[in-house]
Amino acid sequence: MHRLPPRAFMVVALVLLVLAVLLGLLVGPVQIAPVKLLTLWSADQDMDGRVLELIRLPRVLLAALVGACLASCGAVMQGLFRNPLADPSLIGVSSGASVGASCVIFFGGFGFLGSGLGLPAIAIGAFLGGMAATAVVYRLATSVTGTSVSTMLLAGIAITALAGAVTSLFSFFADNEMLRRISLWQMGNLDSANWHRVMVIAAVVIPLVLVLPREGRALNAMLLGESEARHLGIGVEQLKRRLIVLTALGVGVAVAVSGVVAFVGLIVPHLVRLLIGPDHRYLIPGSALLGAVLLLLADTGARTLMSPAELPTGVITALLGAPFFVALLLRQRRDLVS
Amino acid sequence: MLEAQGLSFSIAGFSLLREIDLRVEPGKVTAIIGPNGAGKTSLLRLLTGEQRPTVGNIALSGQPLGGWSPTLLARVMAVLPQSSRLDFPFTAREVVMMGRIPHATGLVRDTAIVDAALAAVDGSYLDKRFYTHMSGGEKQRVQLARVLAQIWEPVADHARVLILDEPTSSFDLAHQQLTITNMRSFAAQGVGVLVVIHDLNMAARCADQLLVLSCGRIAACGSPQQVLTATTIKQVFNVDVSIGINPLTGTPLVIA
């Protein structure tokens, strides 16, 4: 194992991010000439300029923000659970969000929430569902002696199973149209990007990505063990509560706007750790950058591979992510043996 | 000085410790010995503030343990638990550097301290090696270097305390000796050292004061010569031994 200097990695990742943004803007069902970028926000736009401004740019930004959010939250979760295979969905956010979203899709069809709310209602339902599931998991794992991370893991699995059952129940009683919407939502998709959504997620993700690396040293100490961290002067209980609230919020918002995008939160921190080492002060921002790049590329792929039809982004990340993850595991095993 | 008075501790009606009085004096090594399940680790948990005693109080430099700010306490008290699991590929240097987290002494000073602490445990060659690839003994040395780095130098004249729970359990002979040397040299700087140790002869060699725990009570306390007698050992460990004198150090030698 040979590590890259963190700063060099950040520079490379930033360059990649810029390239991925440009690619995402220019490539799609309609190829757009780079020169049209100059007409962004100007009065004399042609059709291509309007596509760029109203469709491509929000979508590209949304992909980058969701990717950054999921990956940095994944890095935090892996540190908090002291397990390099942890995933942000472990605390029940994603499955809770599925229940919330399918509930809205199901009852929304019955007119409970009014058809005028439409998509935003799904996002709100998903967010509330995710928060509720995390709150339950957190309560189950917290006693007077503090929060037990291992109980949280088990409670997360239980709540995920329960939420899966509830979602299945909604799917079972849903009609064909609802069923299609529920399953599309669960695949994770960025196709409903607009400036409004970009603003909402940016308001959460940008502060989050800036705040999380400040907990880097404390998270490093947590990897030694909770009592070791306590002996190093870390307020362990407060740290856990803060990080769980922040990641639940981040993942909750990401899932609300994009559905369940698989594997980004698991793979990106893992990959960054292989490249620059496990120090969270660099791992968290590095994961944010690489997460943005990877989700952007995956989303560009989703838009263009079967053009003019569009694949769900979450399907692409899972299709590429799973084999990639297996390759990482095999590589690690080989390193251990040799 | 770390001082405990009248400590009792019970969990769910089970009494683990009863009426423990203990002083960890600056400049001295205090060793706790006793059979498995005697309450040694529980006692350390109380003394480090990780758990609160059911009855009794603990003070460091005259101030109750609970009154210390966590950061300030971490600057003067370092604790090495029995075993630490770390599954992430940090290098030895990064692990030892974590001992400097409570301090704000700057990277240059911290780097010098980490170098010295690694050298003190014969771990300089581990510097850039990954913790996950090390042997058990090497890992334990790196962890020891981490806690040594944590209290490497005095902070504003506060008394420092070093607490080690079986620090030598996976060490070879040379590194056991080195650990004794390290404990003695920290004590010589005025640090109060408290160590839980299983090997009675090692305890006899490194400690100024021995505390024998048995069934949650103090069975004996005093210098190694006073404590390590055939009667006490028979009483506490239920083993017949004879006591000689270590020809190299003059300390008691337990022959089982």
Where helices occur in A142-194 by DSSP H, the ranges are 149-173, 176-187
Residue-number span of the structural domain to which A102 is assigned = 49-337
Q: How confident is the model at residue A337 (pLDDT cuts 50, 70, 90)?
A: low
What is the number of domains present in chain A? Answer: 1
The shortest C-alpha distance from A165 to chain B (Å) reads 34
A275 falls within a domain: yes
Higher pLDDT, B180 or A337: B180
Query: Which of A78, A83, A224, A337 best probes binding to B when mutated, by most B CB atoms within 10 angstroms?
Result: A224
Question: Residue B149 corresponds to which amino acid?
Answer: A
The structure tokens listed for B179 are 């650990």
The structure tokens listed for A248 are 């639940």
Summarize the confidence of residues B63-79 as an average pLDDT: 93
User: B253 pairs with which residues across the strands?
Assistant: B244
Are B35 and B197 in contact by the 8 Å Cβ rule? The answer is no
Contact B77 A273 (CB under 8 A): no
The structure tokens listed for B253 are 């030698």
Does residue B60 register a pLDDT over 60?
A: yes
The rounded distance, in Å, linking the Cα atoms of A69 and A251 is: 7
Q: How many CB atoms lie within 10 A of CB B255?
A: 9
The rounded distance, in Å, linking the Cα atoms of A287 and A284 is: 5
Summarize the confidence of residues A77-89 as an average pLDDT: 83
Summarize the confidence of residues B148-156 as an average pLDDT: 93
Q: Is B83 exposed, middle or buried (0-12, 13-18, 19+ CB in 10 A)?
A: middle
A4 falls within a domain: no
Kindly identify which residue of chain A lies nearest to residue B139, measuring between CA atoms. Answer: A224
Where helices occur in A188-235 by DSSP H, the ranges are 195-211, 216-224, 226-231
The structure tokens listed for A169 are 């129940």
Are B34 and B233 in contact by the 8 Å Cβ rule? The answer is no
The rounded distance, in Å, linking the Cα atoms of A158 and A302 is: 32
Read off the pLDDT of residues A278-304 as tens digits, 9 standing for 90 and up: 999 999 999 999 999 999 999 999 989
The rounded distance, in Å, linking the Cα atoms of A284 and A281 is: 6
**Sign of the C-alpha dihedral, residues A73, A78, A81, A87?**
positive
A21 falls within a domain: no
Does residue A113 register a pLDDT over 50?
A: no
A39 falls within a domain: no
Read off the pLDDT of residues A59-72 as tens digits, 9 standing for 90 and up: 999 999 999 999 99
Which of A:74-113 have CB within 8 Å of B? 82-84
Are A147 and A138 in contact by the 8 Å Cβ rule? The answer is yes
Q: How confident is the model at residue A49 (pLDDT cuts 50, 70, 90)?
A: confident
Summarize the confidence of residues B174-181 as an average pLDDT: 93
Q: Which of A221, A230, A233 has its CB closest to that of B50?
A: A230
The rounded distance, in Å, linking the Cα atoms of A306 and A59 is: 18
Are A311 and A35 in contact by the 8 Å Cβ rule? The answer is no
Question: Residue B161 corresponds to which amino acid?
Answer: V
Q: Does A149 touch chain B (CB under 8 A)?
A: no
Per CB-CB distance under 8 Å, the chain A contacts of B78 are 231
The structure tokens listed for A276 are 């620059």
DSSP A44: S
The rounded distance, in Å, linking the Cα atoms of A196 and A66 is: 14
Residue A110, pLDDT score: 43
- Output the domain CATH number for residue A129: 1.10.3470.10
Summarize the confidence of residues A39-53 as an average pLDDT: 79
Kindly identify which residue of chain A lies nearest to residue B72, measuring between CA atoms. Answer: A233
Per CB-CB distance under 8 Å, the chain B contacts of A218 are 101
The rounded distance, in Å, linking the Cα atoms of B220 and B207 is: 14
Residue A282, pLDDT score: 95
A8 falls within a domain: no
Q: Does A281 touch chain B (CB under 8 A)?
A: no
Contacts 24+ apart (CB under 8 A), B112-117: B113/B149, B113/B152, B113/B153, B114/B145, B114/B149, B116/B149, B116/B152, B117/B145, B117/B146, B117/B148, B117/B149, B117/B152
Q: How many CB atoms lie within 10 A of CB A116?
A: 7
The structure tokens listed for B161 are 């305390």
Q: Does A146 touch chain B (CB under 8 A)?
A: no
Query: What is the set of domains in chain B, with CATH numbers?
Result: 2-255 (3.40.50.300)
Question: Residue B128 corresponds to which amino acid?
Answer: K
ipTM of the complex: 0.91
A221 falls within a domain: yes
Contact A224 B48 (CB under 8 A): no
Size of interface A-B (CB pairs under 8 A): 71
Contact A278 B50 (CB under 8 A): no
Per CB-CB distance under 8 Å, the chain A contacts of B75 are 233
Q: How many CB atoms lie within 10 A of CB B98?
A: 24
A220 falls within a domain: yes
Higher pLDDT, A294 or A183: A294
Q: Which of B89, B99, B101 has its CB closest to that of A277?
A: B89
Residue A116, pLDDT score: 43
Kindly identify which residue of chain A lies nearest to residue B101, measuring between CA atoms. Answer: A232
Does residue B51 register a pLDDT over 70?
A: yes
The shortest C-alpha distance from B153 to chain A (Å) reads 15
